[in-house]
Chain A
Amino acid sequence: MLDERSLEEIRRKREEWEKTCLQPYVERSKERQERFETLSGIEVKRIYDPTDVAHLDYLKDLSYPGEYPYTRGVYPTMYRGRLWTMRQFSGFGTAEDTNARWKMLLKEGQTGLSTAFDFPTLMGLDSDDPLADGEVGKVGVAVDTLKDFEILFDGIPLDKVSTSFTINPPAGIILAMYVAIGDMQGVPRNQLRGTIQNDMLKEFHAQNTLILPPEPSVKIITDIFEWGVEEVPKFNLISISGYHIREAGSTAVQELAFTIADGMAYVEAAIERGIDIDKLAPQLSFFFNSHNNFFEEIAKFRAARRMWAKIMRDEYGAKNPRSWWLKFHTQTAGCSLTAQQPLNNIVRTTIQAMAAVLGGTQSLHTNSFDEAWALPSEEAVRVALRTQQIIAYESGIPDTIDPLGGSYYVEWLTDKMEKLAWDYIERIRKMGEGSVLRGVLKGIETGFFIKEISNAAASYQRDVEEGRKIIVGVNKFAIEEKLKIPILKVDPEVQRRQIERLKNVKAERDNEAVKDALDWLRSAAENNENVMPAILGAVKSYATVGEIMGVLKEVYGTYKKPIII
């Protein structure tokens, strides 16, 4: 970013500094480590100076916020205009329990809702399924039918909140339920705001909520795109997620690369379907992890934004600048929390949350300090939310845009991560013979992603076991402790109550209408039509999540994958 003469002077000065100042010093007192590296294994140099970023062009590679390639942020004023959305993921027990927790969070100043479902719901099983035994309402709210949604959103006007749903294989069903509630409340569909996760590709790489095979999964996601751009134009139809890839043990570079590749795959699927990409793009969102290596995380967010802008504009030819934006939600790294000395987790989460804000996130979930033990207690959830509020209101961090832009290190690292991510993406594209979509599907089939991620996870664990990576309070500074954290316990009665409700709904609904709706869905699926209208019909007839998924399983089959350790 400097002219050749100044660079030359800097290089000369640097050599002189190394010889006369640095070397004698290092000889007297050695550095702590031979080699310093980020969590992705990128070597971190002693110091960065203008020569490290000399190849970057400010106007081309950084420019101003709100302008291509958006490295410094998607909005011209960023947090000076509006703070990020503080969105704490929550949900447990029955719909009543979660409804009460939501009302408390809204009162506490939270600005968006985010729904955690229990495992049976996530896996598309009803609460009375034998495989659901013991899991109903445990890690999130149990939803079987529209009835549960009616209770969940009781007293919450859908035109006033935006709601995020962490749901994947049954994402279409949950979106349909939300639309149905909106219809009941008389809220126009084009006013509904929120997000469904709806990202199956990362399930195959990492999170393992596996029901249908990859290709039909992508088909249904594309159906949701096609239906959603017309029906619910303010709703994020997907949250392309690196979070879980990271939690499964990937490096930051892998998280970045695989998430962007998945995003490209979805866009390619939409283009194949004939969906107008400029119409769809504003309804795409991303979801990243924020881990401990502060600068690497910031660089990752900035690189992601720059990459996506290039991809949407140059590769897929999106015309509207709005389509080039990468908007993302961030959650601090659950896998970084320790059960030992749990209060330390507040500090970890603070650092991670700061990285997310410095990286320009649009919304943020901060983990609660007790989450390595159980679902968070009310007090722990409050501290987590307060962490965000302190960053927002006390730290001054949000008062200027992209304050680390121009840091030699951060710019160098942003560029480096982008390059490494592109290497991966090109490999994937090659696996798909030019198509990223086919490449991702191929990588799922051959276990490419799983192998990459589990190798990274094992090598991280080895570093911890052998003391090369220090986890405070775990492999260093450990103490004997007797823990006294109040822990949220889910009432074991929940399962019984939920099954009872399901039974009542089934007894009261019009079973003929349910059958008709499910037949409609089956025929739509068999004839390769868009399944969303039929799913909405089924939901409104009070068909259960299990019944609707059951039809899709019948038509598309179920997925199984070889185990790769």
Chain B
Amino acid sequence: MEKKIRVLVAKVGLDGHDRGAKVVARFLRDAGFEVIYTGLHRTPQEVAMAAVQEDVDVVGISLHSGAHMALVPKVINYIREYGGDPDEIVILVGGIIPEDEFDDLKAMGVDGVFIPGTPISEIIDFIKEMVPKKKEQARKKKAVA
């Protein structure tokens, strides 16, 4: 049996713009994923804990507050702290993100950044490609270690 891809769609921080997150959640469901939406105003700890307990393959973080550089690395670190392995989770960030910060986010462990106007089909394809890839990479890394 093929494993269902599980995605946590998370709203971190204080901004209330949930249009993007909700529309993405709907479309990911329609694409056959199991989607868990956190609701608004979650802290990095709460998102990380939900990611670990729900054992998701993907964490998509949506922010429109400009706080991504402060909050995204915290999510990743807390996943590790709670015993999860961010190396095998595809981490996505969506929202208003200046392009010159894409590389910084990637260096923190973010796999994909999606700005407003990105076709959701692109996000779906990205997830389908990256989930097995990341798992494989994590396996290799572990084998080496």
Contacts and interface: CB of A to CB of B under 8 A. Distances in A.
A476 to B, nearest CB: 11
Interface string B69-99: 1110000000000000000000000001111
B26 A565 contact: yes
Contacts of A475: 119
A125 interface: yes
Contacts of A489: 98
Given A138-B67, A337-B116, 17 more contacts: A119-B65, A120-B14, A130-B43, A131-B14, A131-B41, A134-B69, A134-B71, A135-B66, A135-B70, A209-B16, A248-B17, A373-B97, A375-B66, A457-B22, A461-B120, A487-B100, A490-B66
A340 B117 contact: yes
Contacts of B96: 371-374
B137 interface: no
| A-B residue pairs, 8 tightest by C-beta | A208-B16, A134-B70, A119-B14, A134-B67, A138-B66, A339-B115, A338-B117, A374-B98
A130 B40 CA distance: 16
A507 interface: no
A210 B39 CA distance: 12
A372 B116 contact: yes
A371 B116 CA distance: 10
B13 to A, nearest CB: 6
A208 B97 CA distance: 21
B70 A133 contact: yes
Given A123-B14, A471-B117, A565 B65 contact: no
A103 to B, nearest CB: 23
Interface of A: 119-120, 122-123, 125, 130-135, 138-139, 203, 207-210, 247-249, 335, 337-340, 371-375, 454, 457-458, 461, 464-465, 471, 474-475, 483, 487, 489-490, 492, 563, 565
A454 B119 CA distance: 18
What is the size category of the interface that chain B forms with chain A? 20 to 34
16 contacts: A131-B41, A135-B65, A139-B15, A208-B17, A210-B40, A247-B17, A247-B19, A335-B19, A372-B116, A457-B19, A458-B26, A458-B27, A461-B23, A489-B98, A490-B66, A563-B37
Contact of A487 (B13, B69, B70, B98): B98
A213 to B, nearest CB: 16
Contact of A461 (B27, B37, B70): B27
A268 B17 CA distance: 29
Given A487-B100, A565-B22, A373 B115 contact: yes
Nearest to B64: A139
Given A135-B67, A139-B66, A457-B23, A207 B116 contact: no
Interface of B: 13-19, 22-23, 25-27, 37, 39-41, 43, 65-67, 69-71, 96-100, 115-117, 119-121
Contacts of B37: 563, 565
A465 B120 contact: yes
A454 B115 contact: no
A331 to B, nearest CB: 15
Contacts of A248: 17-19
Q: Helix, strand, loop or mixed for chain A's interface?
A: loop
A135 B16 contact: no
A229 to B, nearest CB: 30
A120 B43 CA distance: 14
A492 B37 CA distance: 30
Contacts of A374: 66, 96, 98
B31 to A, nearest CB: 11
A131 B43 contact: yes
Contact of B16 (A120, A210, A338, A457): A210
Nearest to A339: B115
Given A458-B23, A474-B117, A208 B18 contact: yes
A454 B26 CA distance: 10
Contacts of A130: 43
Contact of B121 (A209, A457, A465): A465
A225 B75 CA distance: 43
A339 B117 contact: yes
Contacts of A249: 19, 23
A123 B17 CA distance: 13
A493 to B, nearest CB: 13
A132 B17 CA distance: 17
B140 to A, nearest CB: 32
Given A138-B67, A565-B22, A372 B121 contact: no
A563 B39 contact: yes
Contacts of A474: 117, 119
B98 A373 contact: yes
A464 B119 CA distance: 8
Nearest to B29: A565
A309 B69 CA distance: 48
Contacts of A125: 14
B117 A119 contact: no
A307 to B, nearest CB: 26
